[in-house]
Structure 1
Amino acid sequence: MSVPKAVIFDIGNVLIEWQPERYYDRIIGEARRREMFAAVDLHGMNDRVDRGEGFREVIYEVAEATPAFADEIRMWHDNWLDLATPAIDRSVRMMRALRTRGVPVHALTNFGVGTFDLALTRYDFLSEFDQAFVSGHMKVIKPEARIYEMLEDATGLSGGDLLFTDDRADNIAAAQARGWRTHLFEGPDGWARRLVAEGLLSEAEAA
Structure 2
Amino acid sequence: MGNVLSLDVDVLPCMAAKLGMTIEQITAYAGDDFRELLVGAKTAEKFWKGFNRHFGTDVREDLLITCFHPANDKRMERLIIDLKAVGHRVVCGTNAFEKHYRYHLERGEYAAFDRVYASNLLGIAKPSPVFFQYVLGQEGWQARDTFFIDDRAANVAVARELGMRSFLYESPMSFPALQAWLADEKVLPAGAAGP
TM-score (norm 2): 0.83
Does 1:52 pair with 2:37? no
Q: Please name the residue that 1:199 is paired with.
A: 186
* Larger relative contact order (Cα-Cα within 8 Å, sequence gap ≥ 6): 1
SS in 2 for 1:165: strand
The Cα of 1:149 is off from its aligned counterpart by 0.9
* 199 and 189 in structure 1: CA distance in 2 versus 1, 3 angstrom threshold: same
Q: Please name the residue that 2:53 is paired with.
A: 65
Where is the helix percentage greater, Structure 1 or Structure 2?
1
Q: Distance in 1 between matches of 2:36 and 2:61?
A: 15
The Cα of 1:72 is off from its aligned counterpart by 8.3
Q: Structure 1, unaligned stretches of length 5 or more?
A: 1-10
Runs of 4+ residues deviating >6 angstroms: none
* 41 and 97 in structure 1: CA distance in 2 versus 1, 3 angstrom threshold: farther
* 70 and 197 in structure 1: CA distance in 2 versus 1, 3 angstrom threshold: farther
Instruction: Kindly provide the CA deviation profile for residues 60-107 of structure 1, in whole angstroms up to 9, marking residues without a partner as x.
Output: 223332344443873124x1533xx12222222211221222210011
SS in 2 for 1:126: coil
Between stretches 193-202 and 157-166, larger displacement belongs to 193-202
Q: In structure 1, which of residues 49, 74, 78 is the aligned counterpart of residue 62 of structure 2? A: 74
Cα RMSD for the two superposed structures: 2.5
Does 1:86 pair with 2:74? no
Structure 2 counterpart of 1:194, one-letter code: W
* 70 and 185 in structure 1: CA distance in 2 versus 1, 3 angstrom threshold: farther
Q: Distance in 2 between matches of 1:111 and 1:90?
A: 22
Q: Structure 2, unaligned stretches of length 5 or more?
A: none
Does 1:20 pair with 2:11? yes
Q: Percent identity?
A: 20
Structure 2 counterpart of 1:99, one-letter code: K
Number of corresponding residues: 189
The Cα of 1:206 is off from its aligned counterpart by 4.3
Instruction: Kindly provide the CA deviation profile for residues 124-171 of structure 1, in whole angstroms up to 9, marking residues without a partner as x.
Output: 230332221111111111111111111111111122200001111111
Q: Please name the residue that 2:136 is paired with.
A: 152
- Report if aligned partners of 1:195, 1:206 keep a CA contact under 8 Å in 2: no
